[in-house]
Amino acid sequence: MIIVSAKQSLQEQIIQKAWEDAEFKKQLLANPKAAVKDAFGVDLPDTIEVEVVEESANKFYFVLPVNPAEKNDDQVDVPMWL
């Protein structure tokens, strides 16, 4: 049995909504925190910056997460994909 974490589920929901709803996608690209809050009720703290980029057939992005060994106590735990 595979258990999907809440963060994976939310990520999948955000992606699915962006694929199906052009206005949400537009807002997600312009103001991701507001888009996620409006659509899913998730309020990210002001200390977190979120940037959304869209891949294309010829361009993709690789996100290198923070090294856990370098993380300090001042950093907020949020899903790495946000």
DSSP state of 56: B
Per-residue pLDDT tens for 16-72?
999 999 999 999 999 999 999 999 999 988 998 999 999 999 999 998 888 888 877
Per-residue pLDDT tens for 4-31?
566 568 889 999 999 999 999 999 999 9
For 4-66, give the DSSP string.
PPHHHHHHHHHHHHHHH-HHHHHHHHH-HHHHHHHHH-----TT--------BTTB-----PP
Largest interatomic CA distance in the chain: 39
